[in-house]
Each structure stands twice: as C-alpha cells, then as structure tokens.
Structure 1
Amino acid sequence: MTLIFPNPSRSFDRARSAVRFTGYDGMFEVQFLVEIAALGKSAAELRPSDGLETTCLSAFDTLRSSIYAAASKAYSGGRRGPLTLTAADIR
C-alpha cells in the first residue's frame, strides 16, 4: 500500500523538540517526528519559549507537502515508526 496522510493533525512534542504527525499504510498507523531544526528555524527561535510551539506548528504547516514527501521516502522500505525526519530529509 501507499503511505497516506488523511489526518492533518500535528502536535508539538517539547520533550523531543519535534513536531509529531501520523501517516497510514492501509490500516497501519505510522508515527513520525520532525526535528525543530528541520523546520528552518533560527537559533533564536529554537530557545524554549511560550511562542515556540506556535512557531513550529506554523512552520510545519508551511512545509507540509515537503514533509509528507520526505516521510513517504523515509517509509518507502516499510519501516515502522516512529520515524524521525531531519533537515537533511526535508531539504
């Protein structure tokens, strides 16, 4: 089956400094993480703050199609998650 992303939900994981999202391969759920650095944030924006979550989720939304493409490529071998995407995967 092909990996699809029917649910646009994403969430900020402060403990892992990443944004979480889910894809589906048929009936199987595949968890993904995108590192904050992969979202193109500057060092100043990466410091913990009240606005960090909003900034990261907004950046995810802007890069959504690139992130989904990178997630599909990372999963192409049928690997099970959670799979972590880095800046090298998205650029």
Structure 2
Amino acid sequence: MTLAFPNPSRSFDDVRNGVRFIGHDGMFQVSFLVESDALIRSGGRFCEPEALEAKCLAAFDIARPEIHRAAKKAYAKSRRKTGDVYTLTGGDLL
C-alpha cells in the first residue's frame, strides 16, 4: 500500500512542541509530528520564531504538500511498528 493523507486533521502538541497529523497505509494509521522549529526554519516563510499554536497550525496548512512529501519519504525509509511516531525536523523539509 501507499501512504495517503485522506484526513486533513492536525493538532498542536504542547508537550512535544509540534504539529501532529495522521497518514494511512491501507488500514493502518501512521502518526507523524512536525516540529515547530521545522516550520520556523523552513526558509522563514511559514511562521515567525515566536510562533504560537495558531501560527504553527497555519504554517502547517501552508506547507502541507511539502510536509506530506517529507512524511512519505520518512515512512518509506523505515517502516516502524504501529504506534510509533515519525518526527519531521527542519532537515526533512528542505
């Protein structure tokens, strides 16, 4: 199966300081987190360094196609067991 993102939901994770989203590989859910620093450092075009939750969520929405490409790449490199979270950093979004 191929990783897909049929559900546009995303949420801010205060503890891990990033935006969580879910992909699907067939019937399996795959969890992702993109660090807020990744949104800030991605050429500075997504959100300001003093990003708040709303700014990070908006930045995620703007960068969604790039983030999904990075998520597919990370997932293809190492398929982990169910329940693991793939964390995307600034280097993944370059």
After superposition, the C-alpha distances for 1:28-60 in whole angstroms (9 at most, x for unaligned) are 0000000001112443x14xxxxx110000000
SS at match of 1:65: helix
Residue of structure 2 equivalent to 1:83 = 86
Residue of structure 1 equivalent to 2:21 = 21
Residue of structure 2 equivalent to 1:8 = 8
After TM superposition, which residue ranges in structure 1, 4 or more long, deviate above 3 angstroms? none
CA distance in 1, matches of 2:67, 2:86: 12
Instruction: Indicate the RMSD between aligned Cα atoms, in angstroms.
Output: 1.1
CA distance in 2, matches of 1:65, 1:78: 21
CA distance in 1, matches of 2:85, 2:26: 17
Stretches of structure 1 lacking an aligned partner (at least 5 in a row): 47-51
Please, what TM-score do these two structures have when normalized by structure 1? 0.87
Please, what TM-score do these two structures have when normalized by structure 2? 0.85
CA distance in 1, matches of 2:25, 2:67: 16
Stretches of structure 2 lacking an aligned partner (at least 5 in a row): 41-46
Residue of structure 2 equivalent to 1:73 = 73
Aligned residues: 85
Deviation at 1:79, TM superposition (A): 2.5
- Identity over aligned pairs, percent: 56
Kindly indicate which of the two structures has a greater share of residues assigned to helix: 1
